[in-house]
Amino acid sequence: MQITERMREYWQRNLRLTWILLAIWFFVTYVVAFFAPALNNIVILGFPLGYYMAAQGALIVYVVLIFIYAKKMNAMDREYNVHEEG
């Protein structure tokens, strides 16, 4: 199977994007939860911030992360000419 230099570049860029999104995922989940007791002292619209992040904030970030990944990768497929027909 012929893997060109350009295809390797596609894969490297995919890996970089994956790591960046994974780092954000890790931050909103574990780092924010670690500081939840302190964040709870900040109250917005009645929500203690630490509680809010675990109940809703992190979830919103997850949904956005996945759509960003899909959008970027689908565009990159075309840029590197590895996209499917149609």
Partner 1 sequence: MANGSTTAKGGDAFIKNLPKIYGFYTGGFIFFIIALSIGEWLGLPNRFIGWTFMVATVGLYAVIGILSRTADVAEYYVAGRRVPAIFNGMATGADWMSAASFIGLAGGLYVRGYDGLAFIMGWTGGYVLVALFLAPYLRKFGQFTIPDFLGARYGGNIARTIGIVATVTASFTYVVAQVTGVGIIMSRFLDIPFGVGVFIGLAGILVCSFLGGMRAVTWTQVAQYIILIIAYLVPLVWMSTAVTGVPIPQLMYGKVLQQITELEGTLGVARHYVQPFTVFNIWNFMALTFCLMVGTAALPHILMRYYTTPSVKEARNSVGWSLFFIFLLYFSAPAYAAFAKYEVYSHVVGSQIAQLPNWVSLWSHVGLVKVLDANNDGILQLSELTIHPDAIVLATPEIAGMPYVIAGLVAAGGLAAALSTADGLLLTISNSLSHDLYYKMIDPEASTLRRLAIARTLLLVVALVAAYVASLRLGNILAFVSYAFSIAAASFFPALVLGIFWKRANAAGAVLGMLAGFLITMYYLLKVGFMHGEMWFGTSALSAGVFGIPIGFLVIIVVSLLTSPPDAQTQDLVESVRYPTIR
Residue with tokens 């009645």: 46
42 touches partner 1 by CB under 8 A: no
Q: Using the rule CB under 8 A, is 22 a contact of partner 1?
A: yes
CB within 8 Å of 37: residues ≥ 6 apart: 50
Those residues with Cβ within 8 angstroms of residue 6's Cβ, 6 or more apart along the chain or in another chain: 80
- Using CA atoms, how far residue 58 sits from 13, 43, 70, in Å, is 25, 17, 19
Q: Identify the residue among 18, 27, 42, 79 touching partner 1 (CB under 8 A).
A: 18
In the complex, minimum distance from the CB of residue 24 to partner 1, in angstroms, rounded to a whole number? 9
Q: What are the residues binding partner 1 (CB under 8 A)?
A: 1-3, 7, 10-11, 14, 18, 21-22, 25, 29-30, 33-34, 36-37, 40, 43-48, 50-52, 54-56, 58-60, 62-63, 65-67, 69-70, 73-74, 77, 81-86
